[in-house]
Each structure stands twice: as C-alpha cells, then as structure tokens.
Amino acid sequence: MTEQKHAKKTVAVIGSGMAGLVTAYLIHQDKQCRYHVEVFETQDQLSLDSASYTISSADVYPSLPNRIDIPMRAFDEGFHINLKRMYDYLGVGYITQKFVYSLSKYSTVDGKKSPPYFFHSSSNHRFPPVRPEGYGYLQWIVQIMYLAACYFWFIVCCFVVKPKMASTSKEEETLEVYVKRIRLPWHFVKNYLLPLMSSVTTCSHDALLSFPALDAVDYAKRTYRQPHYTVIGGVQGVQSKLSKGLAVSFQATVTSVKRADTKLEVTWVDSNDKSHISYFDHVVMAVTPDVVGALFEPLREVMREIPVIWGESVVHYDSSAIANSSRLLEKYSAKTQKAGDQAQIMHITSDPLSTESIHQQSSTLVTNFPISPIDPNKIAHRARLARVLRTPKSREIVNDIFTLDKSELKPPKEELFWYNGKDNVWLVGAWCWDGMVLLEGCIVSAMRVATSLGVEIPWTITSSES
Ligand SMILES: Cc1cc2nc3c(=O)[nH]c(=O)nc-3n(C[C@H](O)[C@H](O)[C@H](O)COP(=O)(O)OP(=O)(O)OC[C@H]3O[C@@H](n4cnc5c(N)ncnc54)[C@H](O)[C@@H]3O)c2cc1C
C-alpha cells in the first residue's frame, strides 16, 4: 500500500474554482490510481461556491432554492456542451430557466434611472414582448418591427458572414469592426446589443467592442434559440460532488512555481504567513492570468497581455435601484409565477460607458458590477469577482499556448515558446480555450489536462463503452 502511494505521481492543483475542482476530480478518479492530487486554495473554503449567498426562506417563493449563486452560473445546451454532460454524469439537477431582461438607462448627470425602453425575453419566449410603460401601441409596434429587422440581420450575418481572421499585416476583426462592416445600425448596437451582451461579459462597452468578433458571433450562433438552465440549489451541490475525497490545503497561497531538477517546486504561504516548499511531478494552475504571471516566471510577460478586471456582485434589498420599472414587471412576474412559468427578471441598466445587471429573486436583488449607487444600509452581502477579457491579441496568445504543434518546436525554438504541459506545468480556467470566458472553458481545459495525463473522461464515454 505504502509502496503504491510512493509510486504515484504527485499533482498540485492551484485554485479550487470550477476549473481547479474539475481537473482535480478527474485526475483523482483515475481508474489506474496513478496520481496523488493536492489542491491549494488561498481562501478558507472551496472557491467555486465561496461568493454565493444564502437567503432566509422567508425571502423567497417556497419553490425557489435559497442559495443564490454568485456569480450566476447559468448555462445552455449549445454553448456549455461539456458542462452539461458533466452535470448529467454527476447527477446534478438543473431546471430550464427563462429570463426577462428589462433595458433602461442611467443618467450620470442626475443619478436617475429612466423607465425601461424594452423587455427582452430569453430565446424570445414571450412574443410580442411586454409593452413598456408610456409607449403607445403604434410606437411599440414600430419598435418591435425595427428590432426584429436588426436582430434578424445580425443573426443572419452571424451564420453567413465570417469574421475576418488575422493576416500578416492585420490583427483579426474586433466586434466593433464587424458590426460596422455588416452595417448593423449603431442605435441598435448601442441600446440593445451591447447592454445585453455586457450582461454576459460584465465589462465596459468599449472592452466588449474590442473582443474578437469571432467570440461574439460564435456565442450568438451557439446560444441561438437554446434554453437556459440553472442548477437546482446552486453550485454548492456541484462543489461537494467534485471535491469528495480530495486533499485540499486551505488558506494556502501559492507564491511561486518553478522547475527544480526533475520536479516542480511550489512555494506557498499559510494563514500564519509561514512559507513552505513542496515538490510535485505536475502542477496545474487553475487561476486567472494575472496570478499565473505572478507565480510562474516563463509566462510573466505574456500574461500581461490578457486583461483581467475586478468588479463586485452586491446582494441587497434596495428596491429604489429598480423603482422605475418595477410596477409593470411585478405585474408580469406575478402573472408568470401564477402560470407556473418561473421567468426570472434581470434589470439591465446602462450609462454611455457600461452596463449593470440586477438579478431579481423575489425581494432579493443582486447587482453585478454596479454603475449606480446602492443604499449601504440595505446591502446584505458583497463579493469581489475577477473577469478575464478577450482581445485579438489575448486570443492569439491563448491559442499559441494551447494549440501549438509541439512537433515543430525543435531547439533552440523550443526555448522561446511556452506551451501547455511544458515541463509538466499546466493551465486550466474559463479563459483557457478559444471562446467566451465562461464555465465551458473550465471544463474543456480540465478535460484537456486529464486526457494528456492519460486519464479517462467519464462523461465522454458512450454507454456501449462503459
Ligand atoms: C458577474 C459574473 C457572472 C457570470 N455568469 C456566468 C454564467 O452565467 N455562466 C457561465 O458559464 N459563466 C459565468 N461567469 C464566468 C464564470 O463564473 C467564471 O469564468 C468561472 O467561474 C471562472 O472559474 P475558474 O475556475 O477559471 O477561476 P476562479 O473561479 O477565478 O478560481 C480561481 C481560484 O483560485 C484561487 N487562487 C487565486 N490565487 C491563488 C493562489 N496564489 N494560491 C491558491 N489559490 C489561489 C482563488 O480563490 C480563486 O477563486 C460569470 C462571471 C462573473 C464575474
């Protein structure tokens, strides 16, 4: 038994978000028991569910779970293919979740929110859309026809007009250049497309316009008419399934990873600021690019090119944050609840630079990356969250790291490039794939490491093989 343990390869996983936990789960479950996995987490609890918040049962409809996922972890069939397969394999329960997005404006001059100018329902499940307060029938019909035409044009272009890729003289096309090339009306882009997309990417409009066009087009295609899902009871259930039996060191902040002869040296600091050194055969960094750069010298320079922003999700009861739109939506919400159609409401409010989204669950509100003030006396919980952004440059870097053809890398060229798995150092995370930085990237990158280590992915095995 002891001999077998010594024969095992040791793997350190740094970070216990979705990517770290899935990687650790897969390697730990290796059928041939070849690996001993240890997870390092800087927080005093697993990170996947650490920012979430439990609301008292009096605050919620009896049918709703009382754990609010922060950040929200919605997924859908077309985009989150591997995440959904994993949930099915693990027996994680989820429900179809409809959303109604109310779009309004926030004035930075007088600090007021205008009444909503449009109600968008996810996958257009409610047609015709709710008529905004103050809109006459004619104005409403003209708006719907205008939006239907713009939306139709955008979707057709996504399917038939490919974004331009990088050439020797030019970077690849950004979303801004693409929407201008397909002549999508700027009024539609500014007032409808950007606010709705920013609620997914939680970044400024300028940052979103600088995304590779391919990301936005691919996302629009893959999520087109797809139902959204949320996990019943929140991701805490996923977290406990993935972490079962794992060895985790909490309040263990890794400060450096480097090669030391045939092993990898991991330096980490405990809660008493005491420094430790441990040696492993493999190290998996499941952290954001800025942290990777700080820990791992070979990637220090290049990680600076991948933007990471920080923002807050705030759980509160300040209904004045949505006062202008609440009456009509309350009526709509009550009607849909009665009909057993649990559409959740998202209040999307934009100023000229960015968008905040307020997720309403009964009287509890969650504002993501706020742009307008919230009464401090009505705040129940706040969490600081990182978001990795995409640019043509960062996409190029990520693709170089993950898709480089290693057979082309003979010395001395080999020394110039770092690729995933070089010297047994691996990267996983929502940003470690070629697509929007969402949970699917966590699963794809974790599966990639497991496959490279010869570990079977149970949710990709067909029933005839198992
Ligand atoms: C507001 C918001 C809403 C979102 N909504 C959705 C959604 O609806 N659907 C979806 O698919 N995705 C969504 N996302 C994206 C998704 O939640 C994240 O991309 C994903 O959770 C990132 O997971 P990760 O494992 O890559 O990294 P992280 O969750 O960032 O995990 C890394 C962890 O490593 C730990 N760590 C950091 N440094 C160290 C160190 N030095 N030593 C040890 N440990 C360390 C930290 O505790 C950290 O939490 C949303 C994101 C935000 C911000």
pLDDT in the model for residue 326: 54
pLDDT in the model for residue 2: 47
Kindly state whether residues 225 and 248 are assigned to the same domain: no
Token pair recorded at residue 323: 């006062």
Of the residues 341, 366, 388, the one at which a domain ends: 388
| Whole-angstrom Cα Rg for the chain | 23
Q: In the predicted model, is pLDDT for residue 361 greater than 70?
A: yes
Residue 30 is assigned to a structural domain of this protein: yes
pLDDT digit string, tens, across residues 182-240: 999 999 999 999 999 998 999 999 999 999 999 999 999 999 989 999 999 999 999 99
- The residue among 87 and 133 whose pLDDT is bigger is 87
For residues 381-404, average pLDDT: 94
Residue 465 is assigned to a structural domain of this protein: no
Strand blocks (E) in 286-431 = 308-316, 344-350, 355-361, 364-368, 379-388, 425-427
The burial of 4, by beta-carbon neighbours within 10 Å (0-12 exposed, 13-18 middle, 19 or more buried), is given as: exposed
pLDDT digit string, tens, across residues 136-157: 999 999 999 999 999 999 999 9
Domain of 248, CATH number, reads 3.50.50.60
Q: In the predicted model, is pLDDT for residue 65 greater than 60?
A: no
For residues 430-443, average pLDDT: 98
- In the reported structure, the alpha carbon of residue 75 is separated from the centroid of ligand 1 by a whole-number distance in angstroms of 15
Number of domain units in the chain: 2
Kindly state whether residues 202 and 112 are assigned to the same domain: yes
Instruction: Name the residue of 201, 251, 287, 369 to mutate for ligand 1: max ligand atoms within 8 A of Cβ.
Output: 287
pLDDT in the model for residue 242: 98
CB 280 within 8 A of CB 8: no
Residues linked to residue 358 through DSSP beta bridges, in sequence order: 347, 367
Of the residues 388, 419, 437, the one at which a domain ends: 388
Region of residue 81 (left: phi > 0; alpha: psi -120 to 50; beta: else):
alpha
Q: In the predicted model, is pLDDT for residue 430 greater than 80?
A: yes
Determine which residue's CA is closest to atom 27 belonging to ligand 1.
17
pLDDT in the model for residue 394: 96
Alpha carbon of 353 to those of 37, 107, 205, 345, 454: distances in Å?
A: 44, 11, 6, 23, 47
pLDDT band, residue 122 (cuts 50/70/90): confident
pLDDT in the model for residue 321: 84
What is the C-alpha separation between 309 and 399, in angstroms, rounded? 21
Kindly state whether residues 67 and 26 are assigned to the same domain: no
- In the reported structure, the alpha carbon of residue 328 is separated from the centroid of ligand 1 by a whole-number distance in angstroms of 35
Kindly state whether residues 211 and 87 are assigned to the same domain: yes
- Residue 434: count of CB within 10 angstroms of its CB: 16
Determine which residue's CA is closest to atom 22 belonging to ligand 1.
430
Domain that holds residue 267: 2-49+235-305+392-460
Alpha carbon of 174 to those of 108, 194, 211, 304: distances in Å?
A: 28, 14, 6, 20
pLDDT in the model for residue 218: 97
Total number of residues shown for the chain = 466
Residue 33 is assigned to a structural domain of this protein: yes
Per-chain mean pLDDT for the chain: 90
Kindly state whether residues 267 and 323 are assigned to the same domain: no
- In the reported structure, the alpha carbon of residue 438 is separated from the centroid of ligand 1 by a whole-number distance in angstroms of 9
Residue 28 is assigned to a structural domain of this protein: yes
> Mean pLDDT: which of 3-17, 105-119, 209-223 is highest?
209-223
Q: In the predicted model, is pLDDT for residue 251 greater than 70?
A: yes
- In the reported structure, the alpha carbon of residue 430 is separated from the centroid of ligand 1 by a whole-number distance in angstroms of 7
Peptide bond just before 352 cis, omega within 30 deg: no
pLDDT digit string, tens, across residues 82-110: 999 999 999 999 999 888 899 999 998 88
Kindly state whether residues 263 and 150 are assigned to the same domain: no
What is the C-alpha separation between 109 and 89, in angstroms, rounded? 51
Q: In the predicted model, is pLDDT for residue 426 greater than 90?
A: yes
Region of residue 123 (left: phi > 0; alpha: psi -120 to 50; beta: else):
left
Token pair recorded at residue 260: 């030391």
Kindly state whether residues 267 and 132 are assigned to the same domain: no
pLDDT band, residue 56 (cuts 50/70/90): confident
Peptide bond just before 71 cis, omega within 30 deg: yes
pLDDT in the model for residue 1: 44
- The residues lining ligand 1, judged by C-beta closer than 6 Å to any ligand atom, are 14-15, 17-20, 40-43, 47, 71-75, 202, 253-254, 286-288, 291, 313, 368, 385-387, 429-430, 437-439, 442
Residue 360 is assigned to a structural domain of this protein: yes
Kindly state whether residues 249 and 223 are assigned to the same domain: no
- In the reported structure, the alpha carbon of residue 17 is separated from the centroid of ligand 1 by a whole-number distance in angstroms of 6
Kindly state whether residues 370 and 442 are assigned to the same domain: no
Residue 357 is assigned to a structural domain of this protein: yes
Residue 403 is assigned to a structural domain of this protein: yes
Kindly state whether residues 85 and 20 are assigned to the same domain: no
CB 287 within 8 A of CB 18: no
Residue 466 is assigned to a structural domain of this protein: no
Of the residues 353, 388, 423, the one at which a domain ends: 388
What is the C-alpha separation between 238 and 22, in angstroms, rounded? 10
Kindly state whether residues 68 and 24 are assigned to the same domain: no
Kindly state whether residues 252 and 129 are assigned to the same domain: no
- The secondary structure element, H or E, covering residue 96 is strand 94-96
Q: Which residue has the tokens 């104005």?
A: 139
